Structure 1
Amino acid sequence: MNYLQLQQQYKEESLFGRYIALKHIEPILSQYSVEVIGFSVLNKPIYQLECGTGAIKILMWSQMHGNESTTTKALFDFLNFLHSETPESQQLLRTFRFCILPMLNPDGAALYTRENANKVDLNRDAQNLSQPESQILRAVFNRFQPHYCYNLHDQRTIFGLEHSEHNVKPATVSFLAPAYNEAREINEVRLKAISVIVAMNKALQALIPGQVGRFDDSFNLNCVGDTFQHFNVPTILFEAGHFPKDYEREETRKYIFTALVAGIQYLRENDVVNNKTEDYLNIPQNKVVFYDFVYKNVKINYDDNEKIINFAAQYKEVLQQDKVTFEAKIAQVGGLENFSGHITVDAERQVYTDGEYDFPNIERNADFCLGKNIKIVNGLVKT
């Protein structure tokens, strides 16, 4: 199956970029039979969509964190495919029953924040269930009684996969079969999640070799995935990460769609009983190894002494007039031996100046000059 061609064919064109709020998805949802299953802190509706008549039940939810929208876009691409009335889609609908919550945290989505309107991280509220959104997800879980859960997220650009000292790639997609106990043991339930992840990784390696990671499996029962795995339901965490130069996450969106289709095809075609633990553990673990920008061999004058330093800048995502803008801020000076830049600039010992200081200061805008010929504006070399 040509996953990328399939995604292009069924891509939901009305959704683009990083800022995806309720007002963007409601016109699309009006095409489907949906149900309002509750309301957020600020009384925004939380929608549920069910489709399929099969015996295997899969619960999916996205934008539990409001500023993590890539999987929401991919989910609507997947929905378009499911409703395409092709032999492939009809086969899936006969095999599976899907319950989808495309935006669990509409308040956070509107504000482009991780937390909900009460400033609570819903993915740390699985035990207290203090928030209406958390209570809604648990009620759906209890009612639907899924055989599998898909917990859909984004991760920051800082994550990469270190394959060797000189070959660091971004973690474009990462997965996790969450632990179900403190010992992080692997039981039959967790094995099922592992098997699906291995199948998705196999499909992705053909498209983005060396850019698929395994998220840290430290056990925290306050996290929804750990709780559902503890409840003996195989749960898979998806993390949509960075693809080179793809800050709008339109490329990454393709690979999340690929993972969704490939994993579900695997479940349709296989009795998930084989132990794939070794293949799963061979997926490299995520590491914090990136900044958006690294500037090397920069000369500074500090305390009347000339020094050659390296420093880094990182984008901050800022919501302005319904669009996310990227503002580069100086993030670290020195100590970058274990870090790479998505963009690296070699100053070749040119002198740093920014009109006010002769050395980079943390949290200042990444607007400066390197010598007379290199001008940096918002992190990038201005040509």
Structure 2
Amino acid sequence: MGDGYNYSKIKVEKIRGRYINNAHIYGFINSLKGSCRLEMLGESVDKNPIYVMNVGQGPNRILMWSQMHGNESTTTKAVIDLLHFLNNGTTLANDLLSKVTLKIIPILNPDGAIAYTRVNANNMDLNRDALNLTQPESRFLRAVFNDFRPHFCFNLHDQRTIFNVGDSNKPATVSFLAPAFDEERNTSPTREKAMRIIVAMNQALQKIIPGQVGRFDDSFNPNCVGDSFQMEKVPTILFEAGHYQEDYQREKTREFICTALYKAMYTIGNDETENYELDKYLEIPENKKLFFDIIIENANILDSDLGENECLGILFKETLQHDKIVFIPEIAEKGFKPNSFFGHKIVDCLKEEDLNWLRRERVLESMD
């Protein structure tokens, strides 16, 4: 970025893959010293600890939380990398820590993280519990919010491989949203701050993943935490970590999320928010859902119910097996014409080498 930030020097290599829970990160976060202070202030439904990292001593308070959905782990890895950067004692890191104070919840839903599920142990989506606060994890986040009184909130999530950017054939590797605070989706000084920070992050990311940043749907739902905090007049930003080409473990995407987090903190800490044009926010293309993991062309060769030149769309189901995430292909759509959708991989049944690949990768078993 031209200011000394170098992601390659801060990635925590020993924490990797899609399956991330407290057991994977505790050793690292407990080892951090200096400006980083670890606390255990709450427990989940199953009495697993919910950890909080307190970092920095600056006047700008930022609250961020990851793995509200237990199977969305990419942003947790990015947070770990960010903590490594902030703890490395460089002039750049120390300067930033003099300008911001962070409260980071690396895994808000530890039970869901262990089970690799979106929901918590009570089968509740915590991102639909902002008003009723029926779950201990929801109450914990709200208590932290009330006590810390953040100036900004970062709500960190993963999104599926189905998302593309606008009408393009590029995956939405990172998506952002300044959540709405009312049904009319109006803007306000609070929401505008979030939008400007997103513009700053987008400009930084366009230099490394051009055309692969999207804008998430801003339908209003007061039960969603981001919308709820925006209603409280705290600028809130939704981060969505998506797919990068051939990166199903999301080891590249974690880099882009970490870089975006750094850019946002730098913008806030150096009081540069107003430097970014508000209109540029709406120029970020909205996400659409036009991707399959695999498109099988001329699929009538495999399925006699299909017509000539018709396709199959395959999506992977992420399944926890022996502490690893296995990607199991399943048919999601039948009978569409070529060029109707995009595929992260496209195979043609008229090509023997593609048929052999389907057999070798056991994709054809999804048709049994």
Q: TM-score surpassing 0.5? A: yes
Distance 2:87 2:306 in 1: 67
Q: What residue number does 1:14 align with?
A: 14
Alignment of 1:1-383 (within 5 A): 1=1, 6-32=6-32, 33-163=37-167, 167-273=168-274, 276-300=277-301, 307-335=308-336, 338-348=340-350, 370=355, 375=359, 377-379=361-363
Distance 2:124 2:306 in 1: 47
Contact 2:78 2:257 in 1 (8 A): yes
Cα distance, 1:306 vs structure 2: 6.5
Equivalenced residues, count: 359
Distance 1:190 1:308 in 2: 47
Distance 2:45 2:302 in 1: 52
Contact 1:314 1:329 in 2 (8 A): yes
Contact 1:204 1:255 in 2 (8 A): yes
Cα distance, 1:249 vs structure 2: 0.1
Amino acid at match of 1:161: V
Describe the shift of the 1:52–1:306 C-alpha distance in structure 2 as closer, same or farther (beyond 3 A): closer
Cα distance, 1:276 vs structure 2: 2.9
Question: What's the CA shift string for 1:3-39, capped at 9, x where partnerless?
Answer: 9972221111221000001100111121133111110
Amino acid at match of 1:316: K
Describe the shift of the 1:329–1:180 C-alpha distance in structure 2 as closer, same or farther (beyond 3 A): same
Question: What's the CA shift string for 1:242-264, capped at 9, x where partnerless?
Answer: 00100000010110011011111
Cα distance, 1:305 vs structure 2: 9.1
Question: What's the CA shift string for 1:280-333, capped at 9, x where partnerless?
Answer: 000000100100000112334877997442111111101011110111112211
Tell me the percent identity. 50
Amino acid at match of 1:106: P
Distance 1:122 1:291 in 2: 27
Contact 2:58 2:97 in 1 (8 A): yes
Q: What SS does the corresponding residue of 1:169 show, helix, strand or coil? A: coil
Aligned CA-pair RMSD = 2.3
Between 95-104 and 259-268, the greater mean CA deviation after superposition: 259-268
Richer in strand (by share): 1
Describe the shift of the 1:3–1:28 C-alpha distance in structure 2 as closer, same or farther (beyond 3 A): farther
TM-score by length of 2: 0.92
5+ residue gaps, structure 1, are: 351-368
Cα distance, 1:189 vs structure 2: 0.1
Distance 2:50 2:357 in 1: 53
Contact 1:298 1:349 in 2 (8 A): no
Q: What SS does the corresponding residue of 1:175 show, helix, strand or coil? A: strand
Contact 1:40 1:106 in 2 (8 A): yes
Describe the shift of the 1:254–1:302 C-alpha distance in structure 2 as closer, same or farther (beyond 3 A): closer
Give the structure with higher Rg (CA).
1
Distance 1:373 1:229 in 2: 48
Amino acid at match of 2:135: Q
Q: What SS does the corresponding residue of 2:336 show, helix, strand or coil? A: coil
Between 1-10 and 44-53, the greater mean CA deviation after superposition: 1-10
Distance 1:373 1:15 in 2: 31
Amino acid at match of 2:10: Y
Distance 2:195 2:111 in 1: 32
Question: What's the CA shift string for 1:225-256, capped at 9, x where partnerless?
Answer: 00000000000000000001000000101100
Contact 1:293 1:379 in 2 (8 A): no
Distance 1:67 1:120 in 2: 14
Amino acid at match of 2:273: V
Question: What's the CA shift string for 1:151-182, capped at 9, x where partnerless?
Answer: 0000000000134xxx4100000000000111
Contact 1:4 1:254 in 2 (8 A): no
Richer in helix (by share): 2
Amino acid at match of 2:15: L
TM-score by length of 1: 0.89
